[in-house]
Structure 1
């Protein structure tokens, strides 16, 4: 969704619709307020690029149901949350937890900010899935995060990749299963990128799932390869943490869980192409039926796996 508006009321309404109720005022009350707002919703994550045509101040009370990260793409942003002041810029993001009033004391004219809202319950569920145990209490994310290196840089790059679909009507992010999956990846990425009390445990190597446990996930994939499995769902089927399942697959299967799903789907697509006549189906129909949204990548993966193009198989 892309909007260009003028006026404080319209800006407040858009922020309320996609994020939270806010108090918003221009630093110069008599100045006009051009406002650029580009947003998308990817499952549990809402992502938007905001730019004000005049310097503003903003505040809101508890987020309650969400965590929030602001990543300036240009300029600086001065924020205060629970008594901690952070000056954010393109090298440093500011992170807000669900509780405590937030003040944005300085958001300069023309400064563009990537705003990320992450569902609180979904983030906690993702952490529990990774650790394989319940997590009690708030995560207590660190109030600032350097974004020029390491996991945080990778996370911001993922967000930028998502944001490239802000103006792409009909893009992959407009498809609910893909949007949900990308949103979940953004949740998982933040858990590795931001400082919090569970990070040390999260970074420790996980004990691999046993072969019998891994087999439960393998059986689920083989029974329903058309299903849009996530690693989290497969870990739940196996009854282990995501990290234990991934390590178990690496050790006992030699492939990551989703890589195995992809390989099985390629085989299913090949079987369908071999069984059909060239006037009965198209390669694109078969590819999409088996979860391959990008036809060129499907063709490349198919040729690497079977030594011929999907079209050659269909016409043979």
Structure 2
């Protein structure tokens, strides 16, 4: 392999011109994109292949243009998703019996259960993002009113010409262009994680089955008339929606089942019954999970040099450090110190 122009850093890498044999192309493409490529054939390849890839947090952005006709079979690695679009030209995807033309106006999301046969015509430029499933799950906690324990799923076909998907797609394209500029935004791990979280949050908000965020308007006065963790919150009783709003807006308050029931003018038993029926957990568990989510978010944004874990935990209502640490590990599968150090 020879590369006429390379730029690299700890966060991203670019190889403008790649001149290599087919096996080397497959290996380099797999290394750069994180894709599992099980089959690859090409015709009329140009002497150089434009391949760019950028690591931002735990996500990988990539772009490739072969300068010839290419056919390859791709599968996302285990517990990852790949989102594909065409910067130019058309990429034909075959997924089982379904054929999809990926164009600059359409993106396609693949899961680790998909084997996609991709055909690229000469002059087609393919852009992709590889995201980890656990990053999406953490992103879901940023945008949904509660985590229901159901892994987020992405819609297969994404129309990038309309609505929120269009806004997310513009950010994606902006970042690809930005990475090639001097003094890029993602030149430190902390800024890279912030950009990754922003992009994933916008992607999740664009999914029709995921909540559009806490306290945002969606056609109901209390802001909860929308999908929550895959469940239609518009079907909830009004007093349950109001209770959820109280907890979400002020999780640090010393709520009790009794105080919440009095606030929404129902009995404690009725409130507990509705939580169990619609959310599958008790009001106490919901409050605790909401507080844990806020601690997690605060730790992701904090510097280990400026604040302690105990200070953040206490600010969200956790006074017993040992009990808090156990609950935190149960919910996020990591210690609070690991979250803080990863910033």
Quickly name the TM-score band, shorter chain normalised: 0.5 to 0.7
Output the TM-score relative to the length of structure 2: 0.57
Counterparts of 1:178 and 1:161, CA distance in 2: 16
Q: 1:32 to 1:180 in 2, by over 3 A?
A: same
| Among 116, 120, 124, the residue aligned to 1:107 | 120
| Among 201, 214, 221, the residue aligned to 2:228 | 201
Question: Once the 2 structures are TM-superposed, how far is the Cα of residue 201 of structure 1 from its aligned partner?
Answer: 2.5
Whether 2:207 is the aligned partner of 1:189: answer: no
Question: Once the 2 structures are TM-superposed, how far is the Cα of residue 176 of structure 1 from its aligned partner?
Answer: 0.7
Question: Once the 2 structures are TM-superposed, how far is the Cα of residue 27 of structure 1 from its aligned partner?
Answer: 4.1
Deviations 1:5-54 (A, max 9, x none): 123233212221131231453442x6556311111111122111211111
Higher helix share: 1
Instruction: Provide the residue aligned with 1:150 in structure 2.
Output: 163
Confirm or deny: 8 A CA contact 1:128 1:134 kept in the other structure.
no
Q: Say what the alpha-carbon RMSD is for the aligned residues.
A: 3.5
Q: 1:225 to 1:42 in 2, by over 3 A?
A: closer
Question: Once the 2 structures are TM-superposed, how far is the Cα of residue 171 of structure 1 from its aligned partner?
Answer: 2.0
Structure scoring higher RCO (CA < 8 A, sep ≥ 6) equals 1
Counterparts of 1:235 and 1:133, CA distance in 2: 19
Instruction: Provide the residue aligned with 2:69 in structure 1.
Output: 55
Residues 80-89 or 139-148, more deviating: 80-89
Counterparts of 2:36 and 2:192, CA distance in 1: 25
Trace 1:25-44 onto structure 2 (pairs within 5 A).
25-28=40-43, 31-32=45-46, 34-44=48-58
Question: Once the 2 structures are TM-superposed, how far is the Cα of residue 76 of structure 1 from its aligned partner?
Answer: 0.8
Deviations 1:63-119 (A, max 9, x none): 312111111111111112354321111111111112131211x21112112111111
Counterparts of 1:196 and 1:154, CA distance in 2: 18
Q: Unaligned 5+ residue runs, structure 1? A: 240-316
Q: 1:235 to 1:155 in 2, by over 3 A?
A: farther
Q: 1:62 to 1:74 in 2, by over 3 A?
A: closer
Q: 1:109 to 1:33 in 2, by over 3 A?
A: farther
Confirm or deny: 8 A CA contact 1:81 1:96 kept in the other structure.
no
Instruction: Provide the residue aligned with 2:80 in structure 1.
Output: 66
Confirm or deny: 8 A CA contact 1:44 1:184 kept in the other structure.
no
Confirm or deny: 8 A CA contact 1:73 1:112 kept in the other structure.
yes
Instruction: Provide the residue aligned with 1:120 in structure 2.
Output: 133
Output the TM-score relative to the length of structure 1: 0.62
Q: 1:24 to 1:170 in 2, by over 3 A?
A: farther
Instruction: Provide the residue aligned with 1:213 in structure 2.
Output: 252
Confirm or deny: 8 A CA contact 2:75 2:115 kept in the other structure.
yes
Q: 1:195 to 1:27 in 2, by over 3 A?
A: farther
Aligned residues: 229
